[in-house]
Amino acid sequence: MKRFWITYPVIALVASCLWFFTAYVPHHKDSRTTKGALREAESQINDFRQTIAQLPAIIEQRKDLLSRRDDLDSKLYAKEDVLELFAELERQASRWQIEVTEITPPVEELLYLNTIIADSSMPQFLNIGMRLDGDYVSFGRFIQAVEKADYFRGINRCKMIGHADDRTKISLELGFKALLGNLGKEA
C-alpha cells in the first residue's frame, strides 16, 4: 500500500510534467508570440489611422505647393525660350551660309531676368550679341530675315570687320533686342 501512495503521486507528477512541457509551454509560447504580433499590428493600425487622418492636410498642402510652383514658374522667363531663340538664329544664319561664331546675351541681363518677378502683362526682352562670318550679301539677307521675325525689337549695334588675308570673308558683330517667349509669337 505504501507503494500505492508513492506510485500514484509519481505518475501524477510525471503526467503533470509531460502535460506542462508538451501542451502548456508550446501553447504559452504561441500565445506570447500571438500577443506580440497583435500589439505590433495594433501599433501599425494606429500609425495608418494617423496617416489617413493627416492625408487631407497633406493633399491640400501639396496642391498649395504645386499651385505656388506653377505661379512662380509662370513669372520667370524660361531658359528654353533663350535656347530656342539661339537655335532659331543659328537656323537663319545657316540658311544664308553664315557661320555663327558667337551668340552672347549679357550675363547681367540673364541674372536680372532671374531676380525679377515679371508682370504677366509685361513682355520680357533680352539684348543679344552675335558674331558671324560670311559675306556682304549673306549678311544683308540674314539681317532682313531677323528684322522680319516676331521676336526682333531693334538693332543696337552693327559692326563689320574685314580680314586682311581674305577679302571675301568678313565678320559681322550684331547686337539687337529680342522679345522672349515662344519666339515673340505671344505678343
Three-class SS of 4-65? HHHHHHHHHHHHHHHHHHHHHHHHHHHHHHHHHHHHHHHHHHHHHHHHHHHHHHHHHHHHHH
Q: What's the rounded mean pLDDT across residues 139-161?
A: 88
186 band by pLDDT with thresholds 50, 70 and 90: very low
Are 178 and 128 in contact by the 8 Å Cβ rule? The answer is yes
- Of 75, 95, 115, the last residue of a domain is 75
Q: How far is CA 181 from the centre of its chain?
A: 20
Look at residues 125, 106, 178 and name the one whose alpha carbon lies nearest to residue 147.
Answer: 178
Number of domains in the chain: 2
pLDDT in tens, 95-146: 989 999 998 887 777 777 666 655 555 677 888 899 999 888 888 899 999 8
**pLDDT of 181 over the 80 cut:** no
Query: Do residues 83 and 131 both lie within one domain?
Result: yes
20-67: per-residue pLDDT in tens? 878 787 888 888 888 888 899 999 999 989 988 988 999 999 999 988
Q: Are residues 140 and 89 in the same domain?
A: yes
Residue 182 predicted with pLDDT over 90: no
31 and 88 assigned to the same domain: no
Same domain, 118 and 137: yes
Query: Are 88 and 50 contained in the same domain?
Result: no
Instruction: Give the residue numbers spanning the domain of 3.
Output: 1-75
Tell me the CATH number at 140. 3.30.70.60
Q: pLDDT tier at 161 (50, 70, 90 boundaries)?
A: confident
Domain boundary among 37, 53, 75: 75
Question: What integer pLDDT is reported at residue 184 of this predicted model?
Answer: 43
Same domain? For 27 and 67 the reply is: yes
